[in-house]
Structures are given as structure tokens and as C-alpha cells.
Amino acid sequence: MRPCLSVANAALLTALAAMVAACQTPAPIGPNRAALPTMERVALGANACWFKSGDPAFAAYKLAPELNSFSGRPRILLVHKGSPESRPLLVVQAEGSPSRLQAFGPMMQEPVAGRITADVNRWSGGNKACS
């Protein structure tokens, strides 16, 4: 003999299932968009794709990450390889959550600016590919 579910029991089970489902938090979609994790992704991408790869467009420069920022704006700097104390030629920084990215400096007036923008946007979104 099979037990019968009454209409009231079925409604109660449906309501209980809906309550349990409402308590579940959805899995995050995509990477963390806060400033620090975004700039960590950008720094890793720049290091791998611009410097460790031996890319000639960046051979004269050195990466100077400044991710532990008390201003809430983690950033990376590109400086001349021979004089790291000189003014940065490129600053890429993020602020807020979701982060707002900025890239500025003399390199953003050069032909490589479009590539810098594309690379930074790709890496900030979680894609690790080089251009």
C-alpha cells in the first residue's frame, strides 16, 4: 500500500522547497570585480605577456606593481628599465567595486596605446591570453 499525499501536504512540500531554494546563494559569475583582484589579474597578465615573453614593444621598460595601496587605488607602473626612479611612462589603476580602470601616461599617446587598452581590458575580465 502506497501512502497518499494530500493536497495540503503537497502544498506544504512545495512551499518548503521554495523556501530552501530562496536561501541558496547563487554562485558568483566571473571573476571578482573589486579593484585589488582586478589589478592583480592585470599585473599578472602584464608580467607574463609584456615582460616574461620578451615582447619588443616593452623591452625598454620595467613593471613596478603597487598593489598594496592605502588610497584604495591599486596600480601598476611601467618605468624605464635603466632608471626605475624616473616618472612612470604608464600608470594603470583601479578603484571601487566594481572597479573602474584608468590608464594614463606618455605611453597612452603612442601607437602601443590601443594594445595596452585591449590587453588591460582582457586581463581585468579574467582572460589570461596575450595579444
Which tens digits make up the pLDDT trace of 19-43? 555 556 555 577 899 999 999 999 9
pLDDT score for 70: 82
How many Å apart are CA 43 and CA 41, to the nearest integer? 6
Which residues share a beta bridge with 85?
none
pLDDT score for 11: 53
CA-based nearest residue to 118, from 100, 103, 98, 99: 103
Average pLDDT over residues 53-65: 96
Hey, what long-range contacts does 11-18 have (CB within 8 A, 24 or more apart)?
none
Cβ atoms of residues 116 and 102 within 8 Å = no
pLDDT score for 69: 77
How many Å apart are CA 20 and CA 44, to the nearest integer? 40
pLDDT score for 84: 84
Give pLDDT tens digits for 101-119: 999 999 999 999 999 999 9
Helices (H), the chain: 7-23, 35-46, 113-124
pLDDT score for 29: 72
Average pLDDT over residues 46-61: 97
pLDDT score for 30: 77
What is the identity of the amino acid at 105? G
